[in-house]
Amino acid sequence: MAANFMRSRVSILVCASLLTVFTCSINGQFRLFGPKSTPQPKQMRTASQLISRQAPLKVDQGLLQQAMPDNTRIVVSIPKQRAYLMIGDQIVADGPISSGKRGHGTPTGHFTVMEKDPNHHSSLYGNFVDSSGRIVRGGVSARVDSAPSGTHFAGAPMKWFLRLTGEGVGMHVGILPGYPASHGCIRESDDGAKLFYDHVKVGTPVNVGDY
């Protein structure tokens, strides 16, 4: 009887062990082949979030008191998307910009301010508006689009405009998405464009390039 009892006990232990192994295997399969968590799609950044990537206008107030149209110059860095108002090699102001996008790149090289216009309007890009001022077709090129009946072309506003080329490229207030996005002009923030405008003159040197 003792031998039979021992054999029965061994059989019970073996069955229990096999059941444990089987249960662990099943659980493992559920973990391995069970439903996986669906990855959450990346949320697109808003325009304000893109703008916040650029540091705001920085001004050296001590140097600003010395800045006059006769002693300043402008340097524009395309890679950094920044514009610098300078006295010699000292930076008076450092502001964010948006230069020309692909296919409409901002020309690089050495320029001078050819014209100053505080309330300039583009002769190339703008909107077709009706007699009441309502925009009928927006974001158009005057060279390509024909005006819908009963409308006229209204050039896009370019406040605090500093002309750099005879083709119309200049510096002015515009939207800053954090990357090159213009049709060739150098967009600035409101406060940056006003500060640069006030401290340069027709003839002020402007260098644009990979600085």
Task: Enter the pTM of the model.
Answer: 0.70
Q: If you ran DSSP here, which 8-state letter would residue 182 be given? A: B
Mean pLDDT (the chain) is: 81
CA–CA distance, 138 with 145 (Å, rounded to integer)? 11
Which pLDDT value is given to residue 200? 98
Spatial separation of the C-alpha atoms in residues 152 and 10, rounded to whole Å:
99
Phi, psi of 76 (to 5 degrees): -115, 125
- Look at residue 68 in the predicted model and tell me its pLDDT: 97
Residues 68-88, mean pLDDT to the nearest whole number: 98
| pLDDT of amino acid 40 | 63
Question: In the prediction, which pLDDT does 38 show?
Answer: 59
Q: What is the pLDDT averaged over residues 152-160?
A: 81
**pLDDT tier, 5 (very low <50, low <70, confident <90, very high otherwise):** very low
Q: How far apart are CA 54 and CA 78, in angstroms?
A: 13
pLDDT at 37: 55
pLDDT band at 52, cuts 50/70/90? low
Band (101; pLDDT cuts 50, 70, 90): very high
Average pLDDT score over residue span 181-193: 96
How many CB atoms within 10 Å of residue 201?
Answer: 13
Q: What is the pLDDT of residues 110-154, one digit of tens each?
A: 999 999 999 988 777 766 778 787 876 767 676 666 778 888 776
Q: What is the percent of the chain where pLDDT is above 90? A: 56
Burial grade of 63 (CB within 10 A; 0-12, 13-18, 19 or more): middle
**66 vs 151, which has greater pLDDT?**
66
SS (H, E, C) 140-169: EECCCCCCCCCEEEEEEEEEEEEECCCCCC
pLDDT at res. 36: 55
SS3 content of the chain, % helix, strand, coil (to 5): 25, 35, 40
Spatial separation of the C-alpha atoms in residues 199 and 175, rounded to whole Å: 22
